Structures are given as structure tokens and as C-alpha cells.
Amino acid sequence: MDIIKTTSLIIGFLLLTTFIIMALYSWKENEPLALAHSIYAALILPLPFLLLSMVDKRWSHLLLTMLDSAFITSTIFLLLPIYPESKKIRMPQPRGRIDERDVMFSRAELQPGTKNFQQYYTMRPDRRHLDDIFRQNPGLLSRQASKYDPITFAVAEANFQTVAYLKHHVDGKPNKEKILIDAQQISSFIKTWLKKLGAHAVGFTRLRDYHLYTVRGRNYNYGEPVHNEHKYAIAIIVEMSKEMLDAAPNGPTVMESSQQYLTAGNLAMQIAQFIRNLGFEARAHIDGNYEVICPLVARDAGLGEIGRMGLLMTPHLGPRVRISVVTTDMPLVTDPKRDYSWMTTFCNICKKCAYNCPSKAIPTIPPRLIKGVRRWQINQEKCYTYWTRIGTDCARCISVCPFAHPDNLLHNTIRFFIKHSYLFARFALKMDNLFYGRHPRPRWPAWIPGTKNRRHEQAHAANNIKHEFTFVPKKYDIHDKS
């Protein structure tokens, strides 16, 4: 057997093995579209190489030579570790600080007729009309919301009620007797311990000025200036279930999101108390009681980068995470900020989150200059107003993100080549759309009661979701390129 036929057989079996492995992973991940396409590819793509290698004709030899050359050349071309500097999208360091009163959750707590309500809209009169729109909607976890589900909404409400209890106990006095510790040892111990407790990733950074809000904006501390003299911050990341987020924007997403806010909050509370037991100051920053902007802390702790949708993009889970933070004066060994420009570069060419966003709140344009920093910025009014209509925190952008696939060998191999080859990144995006769909259909987890009653909704959700949007005046439309 000559070298051409041998090469063809190797390529044929390589393709067959690759797509069989992909089919097995797709079956395990409950991805029916990817499973079907993997099976089709396993049956079709290896055939020309395997069949022609069995034909002993001059024309078959010529055809095999062309096929082998085309396959090898294109594979080498795709996998070459070339990433032109001009294509890279790097997110610069933020400038200045944010007033928490401007965050949608703070604005949602404002009650008409109160002092805080009057003061805020005197200070920000342009936002009054926008906020009046979402106040006309049923609200998060409301029984009148369009995505109301008694089981998942009740679970989410229980989770948030538990977080509401925790958020009043984030701080405390340290022990009077301070225990001598080694920064390297205690840093290693905390990381290992947190991962054993269920954290996906942990990072340490120095607390920077732009990590902190300027003024608090929640009901119980509204208008209070933020003063935090701690030197270090611990960023804690927990994973959100892919199965649950695949139901986005339906009830299972807010059920899972609230659960991981609680999980991340518990971990932060536990670590903060542990540090105080050692005699050092420590404060937990959890849902509903933040002094810091968690994604920026996690970014500087080397855990990810801020993507198109405005969320932290992590290298193994994408945006499918929740974050809590502990600030402290206990000495820690900080982690270096890492270069994740390969992820933001992929964000720049992908736009899948923007095209699937029901409220059209995510920009489709490249990063632009906002307050002196070139970055993406979502339209938070559109996003939150949609939440108040459907009753969940949506998470459609997270569920469709190509980086949100499971943390396993198959997807990590793809992430590796995306990281090192710009051409492969563009190819991987095309393949993600082919195998998983450009507009994936929401899938309700089978184990949650009421699934059978929602089959009709699931069958039409992919079409309906693209047409659901919230009206916001055009001057706030970030898709407007003028």
C-alpha cells in the first residue's frame, strides 16, 4: 500500500474517531442537535478517504492526493499559532468609580414619594422615564410575570430570602489576639479550602480604588459613602449549572442563579469569619450588599476578562459563574492579572449573545470609548425592564455563549486552539453555530415538575424569543452606530 492510501486511511479513521468522540460528549451533555450533526459527520466525512483508498485506479489515486493535500493543508492552516496583534481586543484598566445608586437594582428599590426617590431623579432626571417603564411591569418573581412558574419561582424566592438574611452579617469585629501567619501558606490554604468547599476558581488581588463604589445605593445604606481601607481582595467564583441555564430565559435560570448567589455568599461569609477569627479585619461582599464591583475584582485577580455582555468571562466556563468577594487587611500573595485578550477577541467576532438577547440590550458593535475607556456597555435599562416583564433574570446571553460549554476535555481542547489561533477561532464560531445552533432552543430540565406542560412553549421559544424586546427611547440604543 503506497503512502497516499495509507495517509487517506489515517485521515479517514481520524475523522471517524473525532466525530464519534464528539457524539459521545454531545449525548452526555444532552445536546441533541450536536449529537445528530456529529453522527452525520462520522458517517459522511470519512467515507471519501476510506472508500477511495480501496480503489486501485489512477483517477482514484489522483483524487486521493488532492483530498489528502487539501485536508492536511487546511488543518495546518487552521492550527497555526498565529494571532495578529491588530486583531486582538484588550480591555484597558477602568478609570474612576461607579455610584451604586445608578445600578438598576438600586433604582428598582426606589419607592415613589420617598426622599430617596425624589433626590435621585432630581440628580438624574433623564432616567425617570426609563425607570417608569419597568415600574409598570409585574417585576422579578411576580405571579403576573410572563414566565411565572410556581416551583422554580418559589425556590428562587427562598434562595434570595436566605441571601437577604446573610447580607446583614457580612462584617464583624476581629479577635483581639492576632495570630501570626505566613502569607504564602495562608493564601495556598484558602485557595485549596475554597475549592474543596465547591468554588470553581479563587484569586487574590490588591484592592484598587476603581473596585469600590463611591456611594452605596441599597435601602438600608442608601447614600452612604464607601470607605474601605482593606489592602487585599479575595475573588470567589462558583459555577452555574449548564443544564439549568439551557432553559433561559425561563424559571430554572433564576432558580440556579439565585442558588449560586447563595453558594458564593456562603463561601465569602465563611472565609471572612475565618479571617476575623485569626485577628484580621475581613468583610464579605455578597448579593445585595456589595461595596465592590465583583467582576472587576475577579478580573484583576487573574480569573477572567469582561466580555461583550458586560459579565466576567472565565477561561473554562465563560460567563456561566457567580462571584463573591472578601476584602481584608490580612497579608496575602496576590495573583497576576492575566492576558485574556483571546476571549475578548472572540467576543468581538462572535456576537451570539447580542443576537440572542430578547431585549436587544447587548451591543453588536466593537468596543467604543465610554468615559475615557474603550469597552462594551450593555443597555441596562433594556435588560432590567425585560427581567421585570418575564419575572426571571433571563440569562439568555450566558446560555448561548460558546465559552459556556462544559469544562471538559472536548471543549477545553477547542478553547486551547481558540486561544492560540485566530483562524481557528473564526472556524470554531462557525462550527458552534452549526452544531449547537445560532439561536439555540431553550430546554427545560426534565426533573423539574411541569415539564410536559411546557413542551409547546419550548417548541416555539426559539422563534418567539427573537421578537421579544422592550421599548427604550432610541437615544439610549447602543446598536445605533451614529
Domain end (from 56, 79, 102): 79
Same domain, 256 and 299: yes
Same domain, 154 and 36: no
For residue range 140-182, list pLDDT tens digits in order.
Answer: 999 999 999 999 999 999 999 999 999 999 999 999 999 999 9
pLDDT of 75 above 50: yes
Mean pLDDT of 248-265: 98
Question: Average pLDDT in the 27-43 region?
Answer: 97
Please state whether beta strands 373-375 and 368-370 pair in parallel, antiparallel, or not at all (unpaired).
antiparallel
1, with CB counted inside 10 A (0-12, 13-18, 19+), is exposed
Cite the beta strand spans of 320-448 per DSSP E.
321-328, 368-370, 373-375
Tell me if 403 sits within 8 A of 159, measured CB to CB.
Answer: no
What confidence score (pLDDT) does residue 457 get?
A: 52
Cα–Cα distance for residue pair 209/314, rounded to 1 Å: 23
85 in the same domain as 44: no
Strands 232-239 and 321-328, sheet pairing: antiparallel
1 falls in which pLDDT band (50, 70, 90)? low
Distance separating alpha carbons of residues 155 and 245, to the nearest angstrom: 15
Are 363 and 433 found together in one domain? yes
| Contact between residue 203 and residue 301 where contact means Cβ atoms under 8 Å apart | yes
Please indicate whether residue 324 or residue 452 has the higher confidence score (pLDDT). Answer: 324
Position 293 pLDDT exceeds 90: yes
Residues 92 and 198 reside in one and the same domain: yes
Pairing of strands 232-239, 201-206: antiparallel
Q: Tell me how far CA of residue 421 lies from CA of 81, 302, 338, 416, in angstroms.
A: 5, 22, 18, 9
Span 242-255, average pLDDT: 97
Q: Which of 44, 79, 114 is the last residue of a domain?
A: 79
SS3 percent helix, strand, coil of the chain, rounded to 5, is: 55, 10, 35
**Cα–Cα distance list, 97 to 100, 215, 291 (Å):** 9, 9, 11
Does residue 93 or residue 215 have the better pLDDT?
Answer: 215
Across the range 310-327, mean pLDDT stands at 98
Determine the Cα–Cα distance for residues 134 and 386; give it in Å rounded to an integer. Answer: 8
Cell of 371: 468615559
Could you give the CA distance from residue 353 to residue 205 in angstroms, rounded to a whole number? 29
Q: What angle do CA 52, 54, 38 make, to 5 degrees?
A: 55
User: Which are the contacts of 118, defined by CB distance < 8 A and separation ≥ 6?
Assistant: none
Residue 380 has pLDDT above 80, yes or no: yes
**Facing residues of 326 across strands?**
234, 284
Burial class of 272 by CB neighbour count within 10 A (0 to 12, 13 to 18, 19+): buried
Angle in degrees, CA 176, 180, 182, rounded to 5:
140
Alpha-carbon gap, residue 235 to 248, rounded angstroms: 26
The single-letter code of the amino acid at 176 is K
DSSP secondary structure letters along 127-190: GHHHHHHHHTS--TT-TTSTT--HHHHHHHHHHHHHHHHHGGGS--PPPSSPPP--HHHHHHHH
Distance CA 443, CA 38 (A): 20
Residues 163 and 25 in one domain: no
Q: Does 364 lie in the same domain as 275?
A: yes
Q: pLDDT band for position 350 (50/70/90)?
A: very high
Q: By C-alpha distance, which of 390, 392, 382, 386 is closest to 361?
A: 382
**What single DSSP character describes residue 325?**
E
Asked if 135 and 51 sit in the same domain, the reply is no
Q: Say whether the peptide bond before residue 249 is cis (omega within 30 degrees of 0).
A: yes
Residue 291: its pLDDT value, please?
97
**pLDDT band with cut points at 50, 70 and 90 for residue 454:** low
Is residue 278 domain-shared with residue 424, that is, in the same domain? yes
**What DSSP line would sit under 31-48, residue for residue?**
-HHHHHHHHHHHHHTTHH
Q: How many structural domains compose the chain?
A: 2
Least confident of 47-56, 180-189, 225-234, 316-325: 47-56
Residue 467 has a pLDDT of 44
Copy the grid coordinates of residue 18: 473525532
Could you tell me if 60 and 152 lie in one domain? no
Question: How high does pLDDT run on average in the chain?
Answer: 92
User: Does residue 476 have a pLDDT over 90?
Assistant: no
Say whether both 37 and 148 belong to one domain. no
Measure the CA–CA gap between 58 and 78, rounded to whole angstroms.
30
CB 279 within 8 A of CB 175: yes
One-letter-per-residue 3-state SS of 199-252? CCEEEEEECCHHHEECECCCHHHCCCECCCCCCEEEEEEEECCHHHHCCCCCHH
Q: Residues near 129 by Cβ (< 8 Å), separated by ≥ 6?
A: 473
pLDDT above 60: residue 415: yes
Q: Which residues are paired to 215 by β-bridges?
A: 225
Of the residues 79, 96, 128, which one is the last residue of a structural domain?
79
Q: Examine the domain organization and report whether 70 and 215 are in the same domain.
A: no
Average pLDDT over residues 84-106: 92
Q: What share of the chain in percent tops pLDDT 70?
A: 93
> Whole domain around residue 43: which residue ranges?
3-79
In angstroms, the Cα distances linking 385 to 11, 390, 400 are 52, 9, 21
For residue 178, the model assigns a pLDDT of 94
Q: What average pLDDT does this structure show over 189-215?
A: 98
Q: What is the mean pLDDT of residues 367-372?
A: 89
pLDDT the model gives residue 74: 94
Q: 81-85, 201-205, 276-280, 420-424 — which is least confidently predicted? A: 81-85
